[in-house]
């Protein structure tokens, strides 16, 4: 079985290559291993948004914020 780090790395590569379905599948596998990682939910949302599945993407972004509501980029 792939580690979460490997799944994320492969998923990000698939996103960069425009392979959004493949990226989504990898992020879903990673979420099964750790349902409480807000970054995984955010990545899944990005993949869904890229596929035009906006309502599902919003649900994932909201789940990410529910887990960790802080803005990591804020200073």
State the pLDDT at residue 70: 75
- Contacts for 8-13 with beta carbons within 8 Å, 24 or more apart? 8/39, 8/40, 8/43, 11/43, 11/47, 12/43
Q: Give me the percent of the chain exceeding a pLDDT of 70.
A: 92
pLDDT in tens, 14-50: 999 999 999 999 999 999 999 999 999 999 999 999 9
- Per DSSP, the three-state class of 65 is helix
pTM metric for this prediction: 0.89
**DSSP H/E element including 27:** helix 20-33
Tell me: pLDDT of 75 over 90.
no
Given a contact cutoff of 8 angstroms between Cβ atoms, the answer to whether 30 and 7 are in contact is: yes
Tell me: domain 4-67, CATH 1.20.120.1630, correct? no
């Amino acid at each position: 079985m792939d580690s979460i780090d490997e799944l994320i790395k492969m998923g990000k590569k698939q996103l960069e290559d425009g392979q959004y379905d493949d990226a989504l599948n990898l992020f879903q596998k990673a979420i099964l291993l750790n349902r409480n990682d807000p970054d995984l939910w955010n990545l899944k949302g990005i993949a869904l948004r890229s596929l035009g599945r906006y309502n599902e993407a919003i649900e994932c972004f909201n789940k990410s914020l529910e887990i960790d509501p802080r803005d990591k980029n804020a200073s």
